[in-house]
Structure 1
Amino acid sequence: MSDSNTTDITNPSTFILRSIPGLEAAHVWISIPFCTIYAIAILGNFTILFIIKMEQSLRAPMYYFLCMLAVTDLILSTATLPKMLSIFWFNSREINFSACLTQMYFIHCFTMMDSGILVAMALDRYMAICDPLRHSTILTNSVVAKIGLAVVLRCGISALPYPFLVRRWPYCRTNLIPHSFCEHMAVVSLACGDTHLSGYYGLFVLFSVIGLDVLFITVSYIKILRAIFSLPTKDAWLKTFGTCSSHLCCILSFYLPEFFSSLTHRFGHKVPLHVLVLIANVYLLAPPLLHPIIYGVRTKQIRDRLLKHFTRKGTYFFYPGTQALCRDGW
């Protein structure tokens, strides 16, 4: 198939990913940061999983949620980056129709799952700071497992209509997708007829899933900040707020690129296509890259365990009055 393939296609057997339109000549150079991002994401998330599995002292709700986040990020990055790299290195731009729908499902499902796990982490932070005496009795292992199962079911069911809606449309324009992965609206834009249902469903998911997640996190942190500012000293404010810093950084690394990408796609009509595609890639690849770095650097327990395993020196520093916060680990 060639780039000029614009003949009638009722049910295409394959799509052709254009990767980053207009920057084809720079694919080899673009592949360097993309490959680096993938390597860091894989290494970082597997390291987080390894450290938590090996250390019995890290068997707490926050670390279980962190494991869920690491697994989600591993699947999300693996669903997209290998195909991108094959395009950059081998010009392997064809993707089977069913494989395209599968990739689309995984992207939407695990992106929403990232959001759901961040909500679960916000709940953990709220309980740890606003109701610490009942934290361990409410967030038991069985409750954490049920929360994880609820997140998986919600995201799996919410993402299911995406490939089914795409499959039902006839395609009679072209099979060239102006994107580096099977993004939902990029594929729908190739279909004939009235495809407003796909757009409406995308907006429904955006507001009912991501929007509600943002609302819940916002309410949780309003209550957390009220509890922090009720503490007697500024030093206590900073120490308690420091337990939320890793989670806040992860929230910003996830929602800010998504918000910026949504704004540019809806209102940036004069923005070049390759810029829009690059922004979409940043939104998709930033969380798997940044989450393990944030928790590896900012969480004392994980940082100390890394030093213990890789330098064989298990030195831990606990300062008077901070043992509870350090044990809480954020």
Structure 2
Amino acid sequence: MKVLENAIEIDRLTTDQEKIDNVTRSITDHGNYLRKRYPILQYQNTLGASVMVFSLAGMIVTGGLYINGSIPAWGCILINALLTSFIHEIEHDLIHRLYFRKQPLAHNAMMFFCWLARPGMPSPWLRRNLHFHHHKESGTDSDVEAWITTSGSPWGLLRLLKLLDGFVFGFLNAVFAPGWRQKVRLLGKIIRLNTPFGLLYWGCWYVFLGYHLYAWLAPIMGTEAYTSAATLKLMNIVDSAVVILIAPNMIRQFCLFFISSNMHYYGDVAPRNAIQQTQVMNPWWLWPFQLFCFNFGSTHSIHHFVVRDPFYLRQMTAPYAHKVMAQAGVRFNDFGTYHRANRYCMDHSKTRSRG
């Protein structure tokens, strides 16, 4: 009986692999067709660098306009959150060496500027190995990148907190780790991953929260909030950093992690089975989140089949790719993932598919 079950499982996986190969080939061919139809797509390095320069320049301009009082804080935050979503896509492509592959100076310079624009994240060089492993073992217990974005955790206040504050997420994991050696090891890893920019980023954020909480609570408690001239000068710098850089990245990261952690399956995924690794999430009500992570829920599944295409080409191939993926059995808008803690769960009656 066991031999028969194993034979059925092997046959199923073989069928899935054939479907995966067909999806990969079809999307690749469609990408080649688009490259021929639109010759500008041949200039991949130039396009990537142009998006990078545009996004960084945009952040600088909006920051200057905010400091000069020409635009409100909320305007600066929303514009820069959108621009940092472009930079995240550029960094993700760079991790896969899609720009300046044979020109290390230009490639690493772009990686560095991506890190500067998103200082709350570990360096892209450290993340590269984690991300490559994510592609190989997506959704399995060793997929650290998926786990970091809270995939596999039951939904509740703790998961929401982890999505809102990545540093607190890491700190809580260390605090609740079994044994002192494990706690110390995880704390050391948090410090290493956040050195140097992340420590400045999160430190600035907590100073901002602490100061404004104190200023808000003091009158309520019947005391006067005392602030020296030096403190006010420091807080002007901190407030500007939060509006121009930190708050935009907090919004971008929350939207990205919220979408990513729910479109990736985790915990009961067959190894290296791209059909089971992700779903396509593209309902209209997710657009407020999709806006700040460059339509990630709709297009990231394509990347699990075809790695070589840059982010803007995935947007162009999406209508065609979705049809091919749906035919192969990739799920669309499986909202049951919210109460299944991202388990794949073989009950297909709980999913909805769209071609």
TM-score in terms of structure 2 length: 0.28
Higher relative contact order (CA 8 A, sep 6+): 1
TM-score in terms of structure 1 length: 0.30
